[in-house]
A and B are shown apart, each in its own frame.
Chain A
Amino acid sequence: GEDVEQSLFLSVREGDSSVINCTYTDSSSTYLYWYKQEPGAGLQLLTYIFSNMDMKQDQRLTVLLNKKDKHLSLRIADTQTGDSAIYFCAEGHGSSNTGKLIFGQGTTLQVKP
């Protein structure tokens, strides 16, 4: 079945780079997403990548996709204390018949000053 796995916790120092990893099982995934959830808040879409892309860069964020290994990563450059949050990886399909996203359990990023 469909499954998305993430490590649960990552701690970095302010100014360092953070790399959050995700693996998924569904090879037919069309889109892969990264969402951020700050304490007590809803989910904020950070970025997404189409499955036919290897990399996407958006300011401090770099997404790498290894479709062969079904591995997705999110790199945050120059990590700031405001980046402390839970980061969710999710996979979805472009088919209009399948609207749901399958989420990982989330990676808690702790940024130490």
Chain B
Amino acid sequence: GAGVSQSPSNKVTEKGKDVELRCDPISGHTALYWYRQSLGQGLEFLIYFQGNSAPDKSGLPSDRFSAERTGGSVSTLTIQRTQQEDSAVYLCASSLARLGETQYFGPGTRLLVL
């Protein structure tokens, strides 16, 4: 079946602009995660959605970052007033929570802020 998809695959923007990154999880997966991978770094957790529960936003680095998940499926990560340090690969993952934390990752969106 189809895996996790993300769009756009690449995004170049100017400092100060807002960007929206989209994630389509695997159908039927109730849990959805956003991570950030900066150059040469490991993955940094950003936010976690599980069903209808309140999301775990503990990883969001600043109030310029927000995310929503509509209808329990597609998610959008929004970065307002982008800064150069926001340049990174943004990865989305989904999982069937009842099987534990086996997360399946999308290909990522490569964001470059000039």
Contacts and interface: CB of A to CB of B under 8 A. Distances in A.
**Pair from one complex:** yes
A90 B91 CA distance: 15
Given A42-B107, A43-B91, A100 B50 contact: no
Interface in B71-114: 91, 93, 95, 97, 100-108
Q: Closest 3 interchain pairs by CB?
A: A92-B101, A105-B42, A99-B48
Interface residues of A, number: 27
Interface string A47-68: 0100000000000000000000
A30 B101 CA distance: 9
Interface of A: 4, 30-31, 33, 35, 41-45, 48, 88, 90, 92-94, 96-106
B21 to A, nearest CB: 14
Interface of B: 4, 31, 33, 35, 41-45, 48, 50, 53, 56, 58-59, 91, 93, 95, 97, 100-108
B97 A43 contact: no
Contacts of B31: 99
